[in-house]
Amino acid sequence: MQDTTQERLLIADTVRKIASQFTDQYWMEHDEEKRYPKDFFDAFVEAGLLGITIPEEYGGMGLGISEAGIALREIAQSGAAMNGCSTVHFPLFVSGVIVKYATEQLKREVLPKIVSGEIDLCFAVTEADAGTNTTRIKTFAKREGDKFIINGRKLWISKAQVANTMVLLARTKRYEDVAKPTDGMTLILLDLNSPGITITPINKMGRNAVDSNEVFFDDVMVAADRIIGEEGQGFRHILDSLNPERVLLSYEAIGIGRVALQKAIKYANERIVFDRPIGKNQGIQFPLAEAHMRLNAAELMADKAASLCDQGIKCGEEANTAKYLAGEAAFFAADRAVQTLGGMGYAKEYHVERYFREARLFRLAPISEEMILNYISEHVLKLPRSY
């Protein structure tokens, strides 16, 4: 987003100042040791930034996805990359569903605590046997009077080790018993300290300072008034939050691409081989120039999508396109940064290998490139659905 408004300039400046206190070494060590960057999260909370998208009446800043995107771009670009962004990503985007669909009572209880960091959220949709086909989830919340009893398991749930509250998508009617596959799912706000929840970390390629987990629910009890929105309409409610999430991720990807590019440019200017800086070779220069242009193009699309989201205008095409282009641009930039640094690109101490591992994730999650291409083919180009 062109950081032209006062709010955007202020957000960018504030985030830059906070993020600059956390060094490359800090992020490398936290990634290596799989250690959650709690002090980074706390600094963000202290500045009130978790409330960027939460209305002022609930203690937030009342700004939009455009401003949240800028904050995430600045975090990523500081070198914190996804290890930094993922600490604040979930409160920033999941709060949107709560603002839009929760009861007034739940909003008054929960939203100020998200801003103060007292409630730290994770978001649980994915299941092993359903994959991208969310309608096939099986985690079931059975209504018993004024409560639900939850059984099932979720996969890949990020931050579940450190968060204290989960926004859970569960079936409240079986797939076999609903008229439409998207019916019968409900969003539930769940205290992660409830008895019957087991959380097991997954060993993964990158973004290792922030955990991802398998989560098991064994007769977990939750009061029926903890549902967000209408019972049975959870899938539709989260659809509203998916486009904003894609836009936020686009900015995160752009930030990672930019920091990778900066590292590559610095190295290309300093590294002397054959008695001249390697950056004098067009074989080194041109891919970096291309990475720069690809990142700028992706950011323009993210800006457009963010602006549409904030005006409440349909933005499926733009949000998906931004996510796709930004993921590709970030991966290209990180890959070219590794190439520019030669053997040192492979060494942890130069950081670009960490960006490379993290940039790979944007092409897979939370929606894969293939599913974005499916969306554009079917919903924009009006080609027949292929699956």
Ligand X SMILES: Cc1cc2nc3c(=O)[nH]c(=O)nc-3n(C[C@H](O)[C@H](O)[C@H](O)COP(=O)(O)OP(=O)(O)OC[C@H]3O[C@@H](n4cnc5c(N)ncnc54)[C@H](O)[C@@H]3O)c2cc1C
Contacts with ligand X, residue ranges (CB under 6 A): 122-126, 131-132, 156-158, 204, 212, 361, 364-368, 370-371, 374, 387
Torsion on CA atoms 266, 207, 19, 258, rounded to nearest 10: 40
Give backbone dihedrals phi and psi of 217, rounded to 5 degrees, phi first: -120, 120
Q: Based on CB atoms, which residue is closest to ligand X, 288 or 326?
A: 326
Least spacing, CB of residue 80 vs ligand X, in Å: 16
Least spacing, CB of residue 272 vs ligand X, in Å: 38
Q: How far is CA 136 from the centre of its chain?
A: 23
Least spacing, CB of residue 126 vs ligand X, in Å: 3
Helices (H), 47-178: 65-75, 81-101, 104-115
Number of residue whose CB is nearest ligand X: 131
DSSP character string of 328-381: HHHHHHHHHHHHHTGGGGGSGGGSHHHHHHHHHHTTTSSS-HHHHHHHIIIIIS
Give backbone dihedrals phi and psi of 153, rounded to 5 degrees, phi first: -155, 150
Q: Based on CB atoms, which residue is closest to ligand X, 59 or 244?
A: 244
Q: Based on CB atoms, which residue is closest to ligand X, 193 or 203?
A: 203
Q: Based on CB atoms, which residue is closest to ligand X, 68 or 361?
A: 361
Least spacing, CB of residue 172 vs ligand X, in Å: 18
| 3-state SS assignment for residue 55 | coil
Q: Tokens 């590292």 — which residue?
A: 263
Q: Based on CB atoms, which residue is closest to ligand X, 364 or 380?
A: 364
Least spacing, CB of residue 117 vs ligand X, in Å: 18
Least spacing, CB of residue 356 vs ligand X, in Å: 15
DSSP character string of 11-32: HHHHHHHHHTTS-HHHHHHHHH
Least spacing, CB of residue 144 vs ligand X, in Å: 26
**What is the maximal distance between C-alpha atoms in the chain?**
79
CB 261 within 8 A of CB 332: no
Q: Based on CB atoms, which residue is closest to ligand X, 66 or 86?
A: 86
- Of residues 245, 208, 186, 215, the one with CA closest to residue 366: 245
Q: Based on CB atoms, which residue is closest to ligand X, 382 or 385?
A: 385
Q: 54: left (phi > 0), else alpha (psi -120 to 50), else beta?
A: beta
